[in-house]
Structure 1
Amino acid sequence: MRRALSTLLIAAGVTAFAAAPATADPVSLPMPVTGQSYTDLRTPNQTQTGKDLPVGAWRDEENRFHSSKAYFTVDLTRLRGTRIFTARAYSRETAVTDCAKPRSVELWHTKLAEQPTWLKAPRELTRFETGVTGQCQANVSWEITDVITRAVAAGQEKATFSLRMAGGKQFDTGYGRRYAPVSVEVSYNTPPSAATDPRVNGLPCTATGDLVNRPPQLSAVVTDADPFPGFQVRYVVADVADPAKRHEGTVNAYMPFVVPSGFAEHGHTYEWTAQGEDGYDRGPASTPCRFTADLLGPAVAPVVTTTDFPQTGAGLPGTFTFDAGGDEDAVEFTYDGAGQYGTVRADRPGGKATLTMRVPTSGPNRIEVRSVDRLGNLSAPTRYDFWVRPSWPTVTVPQGEIPLGTEVEVSLRSAERDITSFVYEITGAPGSVTVPAVDGAAAVRVRVTDPWVTRLYVRARNSDGDLTQSGVGEIHVAPSEPVVTKNGDLVTFAPGMPGVTEYLYRVNYGEEQTVAAGPDGAVTLPIDFGDHPFPNVEVRSRTADGLVSRTASFHVE
């Protein structure tokens, strides 16, 4: 059983009609045949069976006379609800008494009889012409389409047929023949099922019709029992106010179908049905389903106001008010600006909404706001420009150049209200540090660890947990590189900062090497510069706790 969810898509663009698939050949299948048997004048009250079926007069091995008719019954239950195109019965002659005698076999449709006997033979109703392929011991067939069609239409579940010789030849042994078991083949089509479960955008249809703001997906469930191609679904969509304005198209049951975008008009209601078809028959159409096109957003752009900016500082909460101006089509607002975007619900259709924002940077900013209807249609935008006051704290550092490794005091102060702490980060150091504030101020001790400049990024936090934008303090560092001298083949590294315990050096841009410093922080060592065209040495010093100086470059004259 095939189960298809066929989809119709009404979309903007050009009209697209799906090409109808080529009609495939109908299903042709063998039917179940039961009760293959024969009757015998010699045993008039019995139903006989065997590997083949004697028809007409014949003699047995003891030369006793027999006269037989063959019967078979066809099971029609699988044809219920189908349209029949052809039905044929087939057999072949397995034995012929006299090939010179003209073939006189007849096939008859009889009253239903699954256990016929000679004395209780069913009444013969309709005779069929015999088709022959070959000469003696030929293949034979009979077209039984009309009888099978009428039987199925009448609701009969079985039909019985009989093979016999014409007239008095039934008793003439010269005409006797034997036949292989009969097979019956029927070509038919099962119409598609009724289209059920119509849906708009995946939701069950409603009595009033769903509102849609974009080309909707229309779907229905259709099944087809026949395993051949050609199964598709036809959709018909019509304007309720003007039924002559309609769109109709077919699509493979498993593929979407696109209807032209210009078909649906704003404010119009449309009724549609789905119907399965397979190239031969159509199934019942779905119950009518409706949708109404709502393609336009609120007519009035919102009004945007604020009383918090520019008074509110960067990073601190400020509010905006969005007003739909009484346009009851508007139920919410969408906003985008200052690195933030989202949606806020109106207090009522056509009403207002309040948005709290924390703008991270000071200076000029812009927010763009639109009213939104319940389907997501947007109004024209309102662009609101505003200014945000700086909020960074003051970071006071020592002046001049500070020796590397020195611990200095840094003062922090914020002019914002209700400041409870400061949060700062130091370049090159992991994580952040929080220190309490007293009357909006704090002092921290910072060790200078960068050989060039140590930067502090500081934000103030208020009692609500809001953080200001960052203030920056830069501590400039005094030169710290080693002093390099050369005397003959000996090179001396002298410290440019206190606490040096070792040196890291490279000769002629080679691999870096390490040498320990003496008690006075210096070291002298022989260095072979070889025949390098630009002999040189690069050296840094390092303290026991890991501070590394700037690099000194020494070029040999």
Structure 2
Amino acid sequence: MSFGARPRAVLALLGTLGLSLAAAALPASAADGVPTAPTQLFNGYRNCATDADRPTYLSALGNVVVEGIPGTTDATGNSPVSVRYEAWPVADPSRTQTVTRDRATPGYEAKGVLSGMLVDGQTYAWRAQTVAGDAASDWSAPCYFTIDSTRPVGTPTVTSPNYPPNQWNQGGDPVRFTLSANGDDDVTGFQFSWTQPLPVIDLADFDDHGVPQPRDPYADSAHFVRADAPGGSATVDLVPPYGGSGTLTVSGLDRALNPSDTTSYSFLVRGTAPTVTPSDPSPEFGDTTTFTLRPDAALQSRSPVVSYSVHTVNGPDGDRTFDVAAAADGTATTQLTMDGVNGEHVEVTSRSADGWVSDPTFWDIDYDTTPTVTSDVYPEDGYGGGVGVPGTFTFTPKVKGVVSYTYAFDSEPEVTVAAGADGTTSVDWTPGSAGPDGLQVYATTRSGIQLAAYSYSFTVN
């Protein structure tokens, strides 16, 4: 099982930390005070358990990282010290393993690695001691952990009383799921997600002194839930993050957070998309139009719509998303300016009071913002003129508010010219060679929007 990128990276670096088995501490000065027992003890990036009857369960791939903060009685001292870790199986205290971390900095976590002695299913105790030269602190109180690297053998089952599979269900209510371990008492909780595969469990964050900040995955109720007893079940009410059909993926977790195989539960939901109605059914580029948003009637009867999310695509500043509050009857209005250079594309979803997000509805209109290009001497897709024969090219807008045109003939730099009061302009051009040629031209509006470009091709006689 993988527990996140940070712990893996820490393990990969352990070889550079100067760890040694049963090694004598490097000489260290005691001038910075008398060594004190290490604090902030962790194993496997999880909290130290000081109760032998309630050990921490760890999934270990051959080793366990133990760590603590060494200290001295001089809080300002920073001379390096050593940290000695001693570990033993609770069932056989005579089998002691000692690991020393040399040149540790007081006030910072110092890591050691226990390996070789670890057996799946066994419980171990360990303690830590700060060493400075010939002086050593008292030992810390023992920590206890049990190795559990075996995944649960069973697969959980998932049922839902209000969204049964293989039939259409009315959306609007949270989906109630019952997750069951089916009596497999190795399972003590569940992980679940609307996406596959299940996200990696991240065990801890780390502060500036390297101290782990362990995470309790079960604090995230959107993805984890404890079973009511080992091998038992749990009930969760979830709102799909999107409308339409849904699939929940579930895995059972043991005390060490080893996952079982996953199972999935899929169900069907009738459409709950809102309706979108513009006041002008055929607006043109630059027009501002009022849109009325109405909730799906069946959805509104289940849980009133409180807001809408409006997403527009390909505007002059890129895609844009904003929320619109709904009235008591679930309706709302919003104004949109048609500023997409290749048409306007709108996507709308509704959100109900209980968090239900509808499937989207779409409204689209296509219009052409490219300029019209004409030339009497060099007709489009035709032959005309000749080398040294000047030709006039006229640019005419298809939309309102054009103030300039930017054009470039093949292999020539761009040129920008102002448009006349009616939005048109003309440019003269003389070819220096015969054969295929062409130009690219686009218009710019008064508000600074660069419209779609047009390609005009012709052949010089």
Shared fold, TM over 0.5: yes
Q: In the alignment, does 2:193 pair up with 1:333?
A: no
Kept after mapping to 1: 8 A contact 2:306/2:353: yes
| Alpha-carbon separation, structure 2, partners of 1:306 and 1:447 | 44
Partner of 1:461: 351
Matching of residues 131-210 of structure 1 within 5 Å: 196=37, 200-201=41-42, 206=50, 208=52
Partner of 1:497: 398
**Measured at CA, do residues 489 and 388 of structure 1 come closer, stay the same or move farther in structure 2, by a change above 3 Å?**
same
Q: 1:474 aligns with which of 336, 361, 364?
A: 364
* Paired residue secondary structure (2:432): coil
| Residues 387-426 of structure 1: per-residue CA shift (max 9 Å, x gap) | 3535433557899987545667867554352145544333
Q: 2:322 aligns with which of 395, 408, 432?
A: 432
Kept after mapping to 2: 8 A contact 1:302/1:371: no
Structure 2: which 5+ runs fail to align?
1-10, 59-63, 105-109, 200-219, 378-388
| Alpha-carbon separation, structure 1, partners of 2:340 and 2:80 | 77
* Paired residue secondary structure (1:360): coil
**Measured at CA, do residues 194 and 451 of structure 1 come closer, stay the same or move farther in structure 2, by a change above 3 Å?**
closer
Q: In the alignment, does 2:66 pair up with 1:217?
A: yes
Q: In the alignment, does 2:414 pair up with 1:515?
A: no
Matching of residues 354-433 of structure 1 within 5 Å: 354-360=236-242, 362-363=244-245, 365-373=247-255, 376-389=256-269, 390-395=271-276, 404-405=285-286, 414-415=295-296, 416-418=298-300, 419=305, 422-427=308-313, 428=315, 432=322
| Alpha-carbon separation, structure 2, partners of 1:512 and 1:316 | 59
**Alignment RMSD, CA only?**
5.4
Q: In the alignment, does 2:158 pair up with 1:304?
A: yes
Q: 2:114 aligns with which of 259, 274, 289?
A: 259
Q: In the alignment, does 2:432 pair up with 1:531?
A: yes
Q: 1:289 aligns with which of 136, 142, 155?
A: 142
**Measured at CA, do residues 409 and 262 of structure 1 come closer, stay the same or move farther in structure 2, by a change above 3 Å?**
same
Kept after mapping to 2: 8 A contact 1:448/1:477: no
| Alpha-carbon separation, structure 2, partners of 1:21 and 1:266 | 31
| Residues 221-277 of structure 1: per-residue CA shift (max 9 Å, x gap) | 69799xxx9986765543343344443455547465433244355243547686969
Kept after mapping to 1: 8 A contact 2:401/2:446: yes
**Measured at CA, do residues 197 and 479 of structure 1 come closer, stay the same or move farther in structure 2, by a change above 3 Å?**
closer
Partner of 1:506: 407
Counterpart of 1:239, as a letter, is: P
* Paired residue secondary structure (2:92): coil
| Alpha-carbon separation, structure 1, partners of 2:452 and 2:147 | 71
Kept after mapping to 2: 8 A contact 1:321/1:353: yes
| Residues 492-542 of structure 1: per-residue CA shift (max 9 Å, x gap) | 5263536566441425243222233255x54455x1324155554444456
Q: Following TM superposition, by how much is the alpha carbon of 1:450 offset from its aligned partner in structure 2, in angstroms?
A: 3.5
Matching of residues 63-102 of structure 1 within 5 Å: none
Kept after mapping to 2: 8 A contact 1:308/1:318: yes
Q: In the alignment, does 2:97 pair up with 1:247?
A: yes
| Alpha-carbon separation, structure 1, partners of 2:253 and 2:161 | 21
**Measured at CA, do residues 300 and 355 of structure 1 come closer, stay the same or move farther in structure 2, by a change above 3 Å?**
farther
* Paired residue secondary structure (2:97): strand
**Measured at CA, do residues 522 and 253 of structure 1 come closer, stay the same or move farther in structure 2, by a change above 3 Å?**
closer
Kept after mapping to 1: 8 A contact 2:274/2:348: yes
Structure 1: which 5+ runs fail to align?
1-9, 28-188
| Alpha-carbon separation, structure 2, partners of 1:252 and 1:410 | 70
Q: Following TM superposition, by how much is the alpha carbon of 1:321 offset from its aligned partner in structure 2, in angstroms?
A: 2.7
| Alpha-carbon separation, structure 1, partners of 2:340 and 2:130 | 78
* Paired residue secondary structure (2:260): coil
Aligned length: 374
Identity of counterpart residues, as a percentage?
15
* Paired residue secondary structure (1:468): coil
Q: Following TM superposition, by how much is the alpha carbon of 1:455 offset from its aligned partner in structure 2, in angstroms?
A: 0.9
Kept after mapping to 2: 8 A contact 1:194/1:286: no
Partner of 1:18: 21
Kept after mapping to 1: 8 A contact 2:158/2:265: no
Partner of 2:5: none
Kept after mapping to 2: 8 A contact 1:324/1:371: no
Counterpart of 2:66, as a letter, is: Q
| Alpha-carbon separation, structure 1, partners of 2:333 and 2:35 | 82
When structure 1 is superposed on structure 2, of 394-403 and 429-438 the one drifting more is 394-403
